[in-house]
Structure 1
Amino acid sequence: MLWDLASGEQKPPSQLELKLHGEAIRSSNSKRILVPGPLIIGAGPSGLAIAACLKEKGVPSLILEKENCIASSWRMRTYERLKLHLPKHFCELPLMPFPPDFPVYPTKQQFISYLDSYIKHFSISPLFRMEVRKAEYDSNIDFWRINAGDDWEFISRWLVVATGENAEAMVPKITGMAEFKGRLLHTSCYKKGDDFRRERVLVVGCGNSGMEVCLDLCNNHAEASMVVRDKLHILPREVLGVSTFGLSVWLLRWLPVRVADCLLLLCARLILGDTEKHGLKRPKIGPLELKNSTGKTPVLDIGALSKIKSGHIKVVPGINRFMDKGVEFVDGRQEEFDTIILATGYRSNVTSWLKEEEFFCKKNGFPRTPFPNGWRGKNGLYATGFTRRGLLGASIDAHRIAEDIACQWNSKTKHLPMEL
């Protein structure tokens, strides 16, 4: 919601273009908007969660989203066969559960429909096509100035960064990449396996996305090879009908991390067998300890491992260089491919537009303080969706941020500076 400075009433964002002149904007600049409540950057699940929690506490907020829809990453950068990796009760947003008829692991389409219902239920109306170019704290007025879209400037007492861990695709620089004459794409552009039927496809990366893309390719009669350069943990998605994630949460309530890791690896060995003989070596440090220290998520197997064991998915070493028809691996072997898919992940882009050096780390774009204390900075700056704990972590952050802002909220003063 925006604030009509003449009447003191809130106006829906759909009226924004009707309020560009005269009494609605207290500035000679017709594109300067005063936001009485928090300004949230990003209309993904994290941004929607904080908006709902704020509304539940009576605090108005405004979301800026660079794309033309909510949850743009889910809608535009994910493949069709995607399902939530964790059971739905670990992935629901605050104050609204999933529909009871949804399966344990909802599909991409079901999750998007849930988010659509979520914004309707809480009457959340983001401003779309508002890509933030710069956000900087103005100590003269103790407010944040945010430049977005076509030369708009938003002024707000509180700034919530909800662009998350996966703001932009990571594309590695590999020698000779420009020489490859086949199809080269990132998983953010991959949709479905039958687009690659009968092709020789190399997937670069062996995380959850790389494994799932390989499985999808294999199920659609493509010849899939997967680059495994580093050691990784593969765990079964469920143990005796219980989700491995849920089991991990339960174990950590009672046991030290290393003991819990030992039990998880024992279960993995019994269910999946020895993965190392298939070229999938495990790190020395356990999966939970590795996640806590580096943020690297273990792979939850949904069928790719059996295809690796049967030889339908071939494990190959790292790439030394690209060639016009394929690649040369680090062991000197050369192989031709029709398509190469980069399952090389995503990264935060916060430091490219947020002019602040104390809260967010310049190197990786994450809060310097790790979970559970990385949600609040100085001068009304907050972060949600950077916990490396998925939707559950984002929900935890949303509750904390809303509670903190609500304690500062005073509807009588409207929180607006007298001089801009």
Structure 2
Amino acid sequence: MNGLPNKVAIIGGGPTGIGVARELIEGGIEVDLYEAEADFGGVWNAEAPCGRTYESLHLISPKFNTQVADFPMPEDYPPYPNHRQMLAYIRSYAKAFGVYERAHFNAAVESLTPEGDGWRLETCAGHSEVYPLVVVCNGLQRVPRYPAEALPGWFSGEIMHACDYKSADRLKGKRVLVVGGGNSGCDIAVDAIRTAEAVFHSTRRGYYYQPKFIYGKPTPQWMMELGNKFATKEETLAYIEEVFKLAGYDGTDYGLPAPDYPLDGAHPVMNSLLLYHIGHGDVTPKGDIEGFDGSTVCFVDGSSEEIDTILYATGYSRDFPFLDSSLLEWKGDIPDLFLHSTPRNHDNILFMGFINAAGGLGDGLKTQGLYVLNYARALFGNTAGLRNFLAAKKADHPDLGETYFIDSYRHQWEADLWKLLGHMRRYRDMLAEGSESGVEEAAE
């Protein structure tokens, strides 16, 4: 490849970057990992600007499918670890597989530009090197998003985003409006009642609220163990809804609107406490915001509330500040990537970890890492498998189940986990054709 060494640069030291690095290292590929902060962790690195944690945060995915199968979490971890335990696990994973030795910390990537057959990568720490393959893993939760439309009026109180929230102490004695019906919005609304004078929760639609435990098991585990108990998917979903309702998790029983999508048609909201606190009057549900008048927030149903602080839990935009956006093909305001990972117009850069799916980290980390390993081997070897894959990525449009999900910004990159993993394995095997190393496989 124009004399370049067979080396891969990874941008980002969160779980995905570490997972990709592990597979490349074990596969004999030389790796340089660049991390902007002083240590690994990504969104779980509470002490860093990239951290997205707060004092009481716990995982919404259970231990059993968040851990990597061949590197289990400690036995004394609870079914839903807290963010400090998750960070310790991530760093222990990196240490166990030699990723620390390949990492450059405090080395934010400032520019990534095409040069010859590769990419010149330059960092704030003075690194400047050309790589034949770059894997971008800088994460989904980069730039806070606020409501897209300009709402009429002016709000005179404090405005926060979920990324600014570190503990309920900041909300002490305040009348707080949390905006957003995803997991962060629901969790923060529940957390805020510990100190706030009043908590209101604004959502645009009805949601399914899933408890964290059913029959003494983490709910995702209970769902998986249903297996083929029912003849059809529809019968399975109907049974799950019935169980949730009997357990007290039907939002309509608390005066909330009914969801306008099937149970599995959106990223799951895992929260055992929101409806409980709505039922006790600790959280007051509100609809969409219509506008502002000083400290008064007006809602579309004609009601209004005096509010001190608005906290927007309205998601994030992707951000690649080191990369000229014109180098990528876009679909709306997200890159248009084959398998949500592979540009069709570049053969020497990958974007890993840019997808949502109803599952834990462990379900996909290994598969993504082995996909990158086989891609690197095929690229460096200029194999028949590479040529077949490059043709396929321009022509194929594999079904990832995306059209099944509700139409919202975050669901642009939501996928059916099992369809996604199946296709990644299929194309991974295609990449391995003609490779001396053969197909990389693992118990996934």
Deviations 1:363-408 (A, max 9, x none): 2435544xxx444445132232123125233443123222432455
**How much does 1:237 deviate?**
1.7
Deviations 1:165-214 (A, max 9, x none): 22222122564699433221111111111332222111011211111111
Under a length normalisation based on structure 2, what TM-score does the superposition of the two structures give?
A: 0.74
> What are the residue-to-residue correspondences of 1:41-52 with 2, within 5 Å?
41-52=11-22
Q: How many residues align?
A: 366
> What are the residue-to-residue correspondences of 1:4-403 with 2, within 5 Å?
36-74=6-44, 75=46, 76-93=51-68, 95-125=70-100, 126-138=103-115, 141-149=116-124, 152-173=127-148, 175=150, 179-251=154-226, 257-288=233-264, 290-291=265-266, 297-350=267-320, 353=323, 355=325, 361-365=330-334, 367-369=336-338, 373-377=339-343, 378-389=346-357, 391=361, 392-403=363-374
The change in CA–CA distance for 1:62 and 1:352 in structure 2 (over 3 A counts) is closer
State the distance in 2 between where 1:335 and 1:268 align. Answer: 32
The change in CA–CA distance for 1:365 and 1:131 in structure 2 (over 3 A counts) is farther
Residue identity opposite 2:105 in structure 1: F
Unpaired runs of 5+ residues, structure 1, are: 1-25, 27-33, 292-296, 411-420
RMSD, aligned α-carbons: 2.9
Unpaired runs of 5+ residues, structure 2, are: 382-444
State the distance in 2 between where 1:176 and 1:407 align. Answer: 51
State the distance in 2 between where 1:178 and 1:394 align. Answer: 45
Residue identity opposite 2:81 in structure 1: P
8 Å contact from structure 2 (residues 157, 309) kept in 1: yes
Deviations 1:291-329 (A, max 9, x none): 3xxxxx121122111001122100011111233213121
**How much does 1:114 deviate?**
1.3
SS in 2 for 1:400: helix
8 Å contact from structure 1 (residues 54, 61) kept in 2: yes
**How much does 1:362 deviate?**
4.0
Moved more, 312-321 or 120-129: 120-129
**How much does 1:111 deviate?**
0.8
Under a length normalisation based on structure 1, what TM-score does the superposition of the two structures give?
A: 0.78
The change in CA–CA distance for 1:169 and 1:318 in structure 2 (over 3 A counts) is same
8 Å contact from structure 1 (residues 64, 128) kept in 2: yes
SS in 2 for 1:287: coil
SS in 1 for 2:30: coil
Deviations 1:12-36 (A, max 9, x none): xxxxxxxxxxxxxx9xxxxxxx774
State the distance in 2 between where 1:264 and 1:116 align. Answer: 36
Deviations 1:106-158 (A, max 9, x none): 110111111222222223233234333443444xx321233443675431111
Moved more, 77-86 or 248-257: 248-257
